[in-house]
A and B are shown apart, each in its own frame.
Chain A
């Protein structure tokens, strides 16, 4: 069975600090992709970053990086230099050979000025 777990319902971070949002996954497929999405209060789902199961290096996109630890089945999102606009819900998702995307329950991030 495919499963994504996000154990942090809510997180707070001081502006300009870094924050790590946790994500663990479970799959028996050898090939899979891991994704992070941001959902601001306006409601749209915004793709942030992708990590493939065979990628040797951790993915980075600007201030976002994915801390991929395959043996531990974790794919944590790191946001560096937090900004007020980073306040949002963040969802981790996995796509395996079945094609569908499995989403976690999300983490609400609040950036404090």
Chain B
């Protein structure tokens, strides 16, 4: 398996523009997580999905952020409009979730480094 695939790897955009980050999880994984990493705030969970259904989006900073998972093999994180404070590395991770089982690790993508100028 190719692992979790994120695109683009780097994105530079102007303030006010729409940004879409993409993620392809590992085949067979039924949980998907979006994280944001900054020096100031560390690794923050933005939202996660189980079986394509959003379970907890309490980490989404504001309405400018939205995430979708239309099928088991694809998810997007959209920021509209983008602001300089959104600059960060955004990670997508996937995992196998089987009810009460907590013994499967999350596999991370390479991340998307977003810079909003």
Interfacial residues, chain A to chain B (CB-CB below 8 A): 31-33, 35, 37, 43-45, 47, 50, 52-53, 91, 93, 95-103, 105-106
Q: List the A side residues contacting B50 at CB < 8 Å.
A: 99
Smallest beta-carbon distance A38→chain B, Å: 11
Q: How many A-B residue pairs have CB under 8 A?
A: 59
Docked Cα-Cα span, A91 to B50, in Å, equals: 23
* Contact count band on B: 20 to 34
- Among the stretches B19-27, B67-75, B79-87, B98-106, the one at the interface with A is B98-106
Docked Cα-Cα span, A93 to B108, in Å, equals: 13
A-B contacts, 11 listed (Cβ < 8 Å): A31-B100, A33-B102, A33-B104, A44-B111, A45-B93, A50-B103, A52-B102, A98-B56, A99-B50, A99-B55, A101-B33
Closest B residue, CB atoms, query A36: B105
Per CB-CB distance, the 9 closest pairs between chain A and chain B, nearest first, are: A33-B102, A45-B108, A95-B102, A47-B105, A103-B43, A105-B42, A33-B103, A52-B103, A100-B48
- Contact indicator B56/A32 (Cβ below 8 Å): no
Instruction: Kindly state whether residue B89 has any CB partner on chain A within 8 Å.
Output: yes
Known interface pairs A33-B102, A44-B111, A101-B106; 11 further A-B residue pairs with C-beta atoms within 8 A, sorted by A's residue number: A43-B110, A44-B110, A47-B106, A50-B105, A52-B102, A93-B106, A95-B102, A97-B100, A98-B56, A100-B48, A101-B95
Q: Mark B1-36, 1 if CB is under 8 A from A, else 0.
A: 000000000000000000000000000000101010
- Contact indicator A106/B42 (Cβ below 8 Å): yes
Docked Cα-Cα span, A109 to B80, in Å, equals: 37
Q: List the B side residues contacting A95 at CB < 8 Å.
A: 102, 106
